[in-house]
């Protein structure tokens, strides 16, 4: 007998246990329709069985039990893996909500036999728990996606700042895209680290691919050059396009004694000369 005022939904738990295969079957069938063959029926059944077991325990224990926590963490895992497999958050949430439908249709059928007002009240409570869980998967899904985006942004940052060796003791950083503080910081750090690792005395910073130069970007470039100087290396800035040169002059940015060249080739020739390498044309016979 149910204790009055008990936290759990014992009737629902009882129903879920008695008609386990029936409800589970309906549930899996409903979910299988929405996932459309992206995961196998067997996997789905396995997941659902695990969830079902926890749900029954949760219904019996009430929201304060340990089953509730387990349920949440399991749903979080499920949602995260679904996010990675490319499911939409609705599809994940629907796979939780579908249980309501399955249970309700069972209740409808059994209505004449043993469903009474109390069972329905418990059903409403139970479905609000399911709603909560569905929303929980939604939240986890959003968080997982955010994580994916953050990871991608980070790897993009690393990808976009290669330091290449041009010659013995000469390295170059071809900058492409927009320079902001975060990126310049990465460029600065990787350039300086490469200078140490390779023992290079010269660095060429090529800004051919930089869309626009404003005072902030110029400031970042200057800082990089000064930092490299502090370590005992010389920097040359190359790839200054005519418009950029115009902007720099208009903004009144002073590059002082930093060597600037129009093209990467000019810069390479300059640093080769500085490091005492002579370039002699082969001469075609």
Partner 1 sequence: MDRVPVLKIGDILLVSIQIDLQDQSVLALQEDLAERIVSTGARGVIIDITAVEIVDSFIGRMFATIASMSRLLDAETVVVGMRPAVAITLVELGLSLGGVRTALDLEKGLALLNADGVSQTARALRDIR
Site for partner 1, rule CB under 8 A: 188-189, 192-193, 195-196, 199-201, 223, 226-233
How many other CB atoms are there within 10 angstroms of residue 262's CB atom? 14
Cβ 222 to partner 1 shortest distance, Å: 9
Which tokens go with 226?
């000064």
Cβ 175 to partner 1 shortest distance, Å: 18
For partner 1, give the closer residue by CB, 68 or 191: 191
24, 106 contact by CB (below 8 A): no
The candidate with the shortest Cα–Cα distance to 79, out of 112, 115, 51, is 51
The candidate with the shortest Cα–Cα distance to 188, out of 222, 216, 156, is 222
For partner 1, give the closer residue by CB, 71 or 233: 233
In sequence order, what E strands does 178-220 have?
202-210
Side-chain half-sphere CA neighbours of 247 within 13 A: 14
Rounded-to-integer distance, Cα 151 and Cα 56, Å = 37
For partner 1, give the closer residue by CB, 54 or 235: 235
Cβ 36 to partner 1 shortest distance, Å: 52
Question: CA angle at residue 261 from 260 to 267, to 5 degrees?
Answer: 105
Rounded-to-integer distance, Cα 76 and Cα 51, Å = 12
For partner 1, give the closer residue by CB, 54 or 233: 233
Cβ 97 to partner 1 shortest distance, Å: 52
For partner 1, give the closer residue by CB, 33 or 199: 199
The candidate with the shortest Cα–Cα distance to 9, out of 146, 159, 112, 120, is 120
Cβ 226 to partner 1 shortest distance, Å: 5
Cβ 189 to partner 1 shortest distance, Å: 6
Cβ 144 to partner 1 shortest distance, Å: 34
Backbone φ, ψ for residue 235 (5° rounding):
-110, 145
For partner 1, give the closer residue by CB, 148 or 231: 231
DSSP letters of 59-123? Answer: HHH-TTSHHHHHHHHHHHHHHHHHHHHT--HHHHHHHHHHHHHHHHHHHHHHHHHH--HHHHHHH
For partner 1, give the closer residue by CB, 198 or 263: 198
């Amino acid at each position: 007998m149910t204790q009055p005022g008990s936290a759990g939904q014992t009737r629902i738990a009882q129903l879920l246990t008695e008609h386990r295969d029936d409800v589970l079957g309906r549930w899996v069938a409903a979910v299988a329709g929405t996932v459309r063959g992206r995961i196998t029926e067997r996997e789905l059944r396995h997941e659902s069985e695990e969830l079902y077991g926890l749900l029954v325990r949760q219904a019996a224990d009430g929201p304060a039990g340990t089953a509730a926590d387990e349920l949440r963490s399991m749903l979080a895992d499920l949602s995260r893996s679904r996010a990675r497999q490319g499911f939409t958050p609705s599809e994940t949430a629907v796979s939780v909500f579908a249980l309501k439908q399955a249970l309700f249709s069972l209740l409808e059928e059994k209505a004449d036999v043993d469903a009474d007002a109390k069972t329905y009240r418990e059903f409403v409570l139970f479905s609000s728990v399911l709603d909560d869980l569905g929303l929980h998967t939604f939240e986890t899904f959003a968080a997982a996606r955010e994580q994916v985006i953050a990871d991608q942004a980070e790897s993009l940052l690393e990808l976009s700042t290669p330091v290449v060796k041009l010659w013995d003791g000469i390295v170059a950083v071809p900058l492409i895209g927009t320079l902001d503080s975060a990126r310049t910081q990465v460029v600065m750090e990787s350039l300086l680290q490469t200078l140490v690792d390779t023992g290079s005395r010269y660095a060429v910073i090529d800004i051919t691919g930089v869309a626009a130069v404003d005072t902030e970007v110029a400031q970042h470039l200057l800082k990089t050059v000064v930092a490299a100087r502090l370590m005992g290396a010389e920097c040359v800035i190359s790839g200054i396009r005519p418009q950029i040169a115009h902007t720099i002059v208009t903004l009144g940015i002073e590059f002082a004694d930093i060597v600037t060249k129009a093209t990467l080739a000019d810069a390479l020739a300059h640093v080769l000369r500085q490091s005492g390498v002579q370039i002699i044309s082969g001469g075609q016979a």
